[in-house]
Amino acid sequence: MDKQHILYAMPHSLYSGRARSYLIKNHIPFEERSTGHETFKAEVLPRGKLPTIPTLVTPEGDVIRDGAAIIEHFEAAGGRPCQPPGARQQVISALFDVIGTDGLLRPAMHYRWNFPEDNLAFVRYHFFHSQRDVPEREAKTDAMMNRMRHAAMIFGVTAQSQTVVEALYLDYLDALNVHFERYPYLLGWRPCIGDFGLLGPMYAHLGRDPYPARLMQQRAPAVYRWVERMNREDSDVPEYFDAGSDFLADDEVPETLVGVLKILAEDFVPETLAAAALINDWLDEHQPEAGAVAVGRLAEALGTADFTVRGETITALAQPHRFYLLQRVQDIYASASCEERTQIDSVLSECDLAEAARASLSRRIQRADNLEVWD
Ligand SMILES: N[C@@H](CCC(=O)N[C@@H](CS)C(=O)NCC(=O)O)C(=O)O
């Protein structure tokens, strides 16, 4: 048999869900291994540079760390099967990728860590099995869980902000349910890059941990079905009697999706603007050398920024990674024609996302040797 790709990942890992789904949907055979596997520390980590999952090892032995980089590797080689052809849909797809991987961390963390009666035993099972079978396995499990529990707080979930985090999530879930009642994927009949990014928080945390999974099943069955669908090889669309097989025609961004984005914008915009200001001040002050690491491990960042959502002040880590993914949105815009730009501007302002889509850092972030570094 041909050698397969090996995906270092775990079922409970947010970022793993994005890469795994891409591999499944694109019929790329792979074997999934835990970071507890002997080979991870010994062979993969020295080349992956950071101990994050997902990390992929190709049949040729190349190591690719980071979900966006794994997807880009296959997109570049395969004629971009998950990139819609139109500029407007491309921008929306790239935006969902950022919002999924960076913008929904608060509900993802809240619904995992703040419902221990329902979730804790289930979550602990997974953290335990991502540790190697060494004498200090229990202690390492606790340490890792404490680190991630703490992440919930530093991403902005506190006793004070919980009500607004929940209200926003429920409004978003309802709007997304309306969308998926009409279409099986974000932009029609096949998944785009944005579907994979959005699946990150919606699978491992919000669609799989006991408390939020039940909430999703009971309140938003069409969203729950999308989560299932994104983990199946076929298009899995029995409930749509008019199913097509492509992205929506004429570069259409459906009204139902505009409704979803308007809600997501409520915290994505103020958080992005506050984070950009903080990181730009940091860049002015520190002037990092070209090639210095810009994005470290999850929950490591340069500082916190304050912003207001529905009247509540939220304090959250400002993470440069968000701007690395926003660069892609901005690159699509930069290479669009004048006419396309007008259409993009119009849909972004309809979604209240224009300011966030333009937000940038004073230095670009590049990838070099499996790390995101300052240009
Ligand atoms: N930018 C990375 C982030 C990956 C990431 O932070 N993964 C988490 C698990 S969901 C992780 O490995 N955390 C371990 C750590 O930060 O030590 C990606 O998109 O793949």
Residue 151: per-residue pLDDT? 86
Query: What whole-number distance in Å separates Cα of residue 6 and Cα of residue 25?
Result: 16
Give tens-digit pLDDT for 239-298: 999 999 999 999 999 999 999 999 999 999 999 999 999 999 999 999 999 999 999 887
Q: How far is the CA of 108 from the centre of ligand 1 (A)?
A: 14
Task: Please provide residue 81's backbone torsions phi and psi, each rounded to the nearest 5 degrees.
Answer: -65, -20
Residues in contact with 372: Cβ distance below 8 Å, sequence separation at least 6, in sequence order: 66, 293, 294, 295, 320, 321, 324, 365, 366
Counting ligand 1 atoms within 8 A of each CB, the residue from 12, 50, 52, 203 with the most, and so the one to mutate, is 52
Q: How far is CA 34 from CA 51, 55, 232, 280, 366, in A?
A: 12, 10, 21, 37, 28
User: How far apart are the CA of 65 and the centre of ligand 1, in A?
Assistant: 9
pLDDT over threshold 80, residue 31: yes
Residue labelled with tokens 């010994």: 42
* Residue among 35, 44, 50, 53 whose CB has most ligand 1 atoms within 8 A, to mutate: 53
pLDDT value at residue 302: 84
Q: Are 303 and 318 a contacting pair, CB within 8 Å?
A: yes
Contact 97 CB / ligand 1 (< 6 Å): no
| 161-171 tens-digit pLDDT | 999 999 999 99
How many Cβ atoms from other residues are within 10 Å of residue 30's Cβ?
18
φ, ψ of residue 305 to 5 degrees: the values are -125, 145
Residue 299 has pLDDT above 70, yes or no: no
What average pLDDT does the chain have? 96
Q: What percent of the chain has pLDDT over 90?
A: 94
- Whole-number Å distance, alpha carbon 256 to ligand 1 midpoint, is 31
Q: What is the pLDDT of residues 200-244, one digit of tens each?
A: 999 999 999 999 999 999 999 999 999 999 999 999 999 999 999
Cβ atoms of residues 357 and 348 within 8 Å? yes
Number of CB atoms found within 10 A of residue 50's CB: 18
Set out the domains of the chain in order of their start, with CATH numbers: 5-77 (3.40.30.10)
3-state secondary structure of 347: helix
What is the predicted pLDDT for the residue at 264? Answer: 98
Q: Whose CA is nearest to atom 1 of ligand 1?
A: 66
Query: How many angstroms separate the alpha carbon of residue 348 from the centre of ligand 1?
Result: 29
Q: Is 14 in the pocket of ligand 1 (CB under 6 A)?
A: yes
Model pLDDT for residues 86-122, shown as the tens digit of each residue: 999 999 999 999 999 999 999 999 999 999 999 999 9
Contact 192, 82 (CB under 8 A): yes
> How many whole angstroms separate alpha carbon 266 and alpha carbon 156?
15
CA of residue 13 to ligand 1 center, whole Å: 8
DSSP H or E stretch at residue 7: strand 5-8
Measure the CA–CA gap between 308 and 273, rounded to whole angstroms.
11
Q: Is 52 in the pocket of ligand 1 (CB under 6 A)?
A: yes
Q: Give the Cβ contact number of residue 342 at 10 Å.
A: 11
